[in-house]
């Protein structure tokens, strides 16, 4: 297993010029959209707190483990959205922690829809304990020194939504960072590179009858050197209280999920991923849990349900 982790480490760090999707993924992306698109901040019109925890590939030592926590709110005139988010992403001997601040300006239209332009900025700390890897060749200099660097982040996005529809495009980090073991560089002579990720999101809510609503949604992810990946999802809301759904992530997993709107302000969600990728066969699936609480500005301000 330690040898497997060493190989995974090499791939992720970009040795041998191998590239893959580098940002953390979530099955319940529809409840963590500020992490995907900064223009989403404040779109719900109230102060929202969201926590999400994901444990991937249970049963495999060193498998990815991610947690995020965010706050976002709108000003009283709903023209400006503000947000903060913190995250911790761990895989094997590598850990990335970060903190971002988000600003969104919203333009409202006569049809009650709105278009937001969002910006985010912050820092992340990337650590790789290379010296802890059990090596076949103990003199391998590629693992002789740990990596511990601060990476800047600056991202942007646009987001349009009505009560029943949303769509958005974003680049959460416009800064293409190049890593060495002791610093961040922006030129050659590097051991790893972090590329820009491109995201497109969209969703709609259909009324099937008085008690049932169908909410399909999608997330498209693209990064240099990796295939474009689609998350295709559909949730069925029952009396605006309970939701059950499923999704398919191309080349990776199928997922089942459930949500409960416990009251006007508190929502609980759970997702389970079953891996279909041939690269990771021997695991017990992926578990993800989400908690959201909405404070509201004043009594009666919070509306239930909120579909996105």
Rounded distance, CA 193 to CA 174, Å?
13
Please give the order of strands across the beta sheet that includes 184-185. 184-185, 177-179, 192-194
Domain count for the chain: 1
* Domain, as residue range, for 70: 2-294
Where residue 62 sits, what CATH number does that domain have?
A: 2.40.160.40
In-domain check, residue 243: yes
Neighbours of 157 (CB within 10 A): 26
Q: Is 93 exposed, middle or buried (0-12, 13-18, 19+ CB in 10 A)?
A: buried
Q: What is the token pair recorded at 63? A: 């498998």
In-domain check, residue 109: yes
In-domain check, residue 302: no
Rg (CA), the chain: 20
Residues 6+ apart with CB under 8 A from 138: none
- pLDDT tens for the chain, 308 residues long, are 444 444 444 444 443 333 344 567 788 888 878 889 999 999 988 899 999 999 988 888 888 899 999 999 999 888 999 999 999 999 888 899 999 999 999 999 887 789 999 999 999 998 888 777 777 767 666 676 788 888 889 999 999 999 899 999 999 988 877 665 555 444 444 556 677 889 999 999 999 999 999 999 999 999 887 889 999 999 999 999 999 999 999 988 999 999 999 988 899 999 999 988 776 667 788 999 999 999 865 444 444 456 78
In-domain check, residue 181: yes
Which ranges in the chain belong to alpha helices (H)?
A: 2-13
In-domain check, residue 299: no
**Global confidence as pTM:** 0.83
In-domain check, residue 301: no
In-domain check, residue 192: yes
Helix, strand or coil for residue 30?
helix
pLDDT digits (tens, 9 = 90+) for 62-121: 888 999 999 999 998 889 999 999 999 998 888 999 999 999 999 998 877 899 999 999
In-domain check, residue 193: yes
Check residue 247 and give its pLDDT: 95
Q: What is the token pair recorded at 245? A: 């759904």
Chain centre to alpha carbon of residue 193: 20
């Amino acid at each position: 297993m330690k040898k497997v982790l060493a190989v995974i480490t090499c791939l992720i760090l970009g040795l041998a010029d191998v590239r893959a999707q580098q940002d953390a993924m979530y099955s319940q992306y529809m409840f963590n959209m500020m992490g995907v698109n900064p223009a989403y901040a404040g779109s719900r019109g109230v102060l929202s707190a969201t926590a999400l925890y994901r444990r991937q590939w249970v049963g495999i030592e060193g498998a990815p483990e991610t947690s995020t926590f965010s706050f976002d709110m709108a000003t009283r005139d709903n023209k400006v959205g503000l947000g903060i988010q913190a995250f911790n992403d761990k895989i094997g001997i590598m850990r990335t922690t970060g903190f971002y601040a988000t600003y969104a300006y919203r333009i409202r239209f006569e049809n009650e829809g709105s278009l937001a332009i969002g910006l985010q900025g912050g820092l992340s700390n990337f650590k790789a304990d290379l010296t802890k890897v059990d090596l076949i060749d103990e003199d391998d200099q590629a693992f002789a020194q740990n990596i511990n660097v601060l990476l800047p982040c600056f991202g942007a996005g646009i987001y349009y939504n009505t009560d029943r529809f949303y769509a958005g495009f974003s680049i959460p980090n416009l800064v293409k960072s190049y890593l060495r073991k002791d610093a961040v560089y922006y030129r050659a002579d590097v051991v790893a590179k972090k590329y820009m990720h491109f995201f497109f999101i969209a969703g709609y809510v259909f009324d099937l009858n008085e008690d049932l609503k169908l909410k399909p949604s999608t997330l498209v992810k693209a990064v240099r050197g990796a295939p474009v990946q689609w998350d295709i999802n559909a949730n069925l809301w029952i009396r605006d209280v309970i939701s059950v759904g499923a999704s398919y992530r191309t080349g990776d997993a199928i997922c089942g999920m459930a949500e409960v709107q416990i009251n006007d302000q508190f929502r609980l969600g759970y997702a389970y991923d079953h891996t279909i990728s041939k690269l990771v066969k021997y695991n017990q699936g992926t578990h993800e849990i989400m908690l959201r609480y909405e404070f509201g500005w004043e009594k009666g301000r919070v509306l239930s349900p909120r579909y996105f």
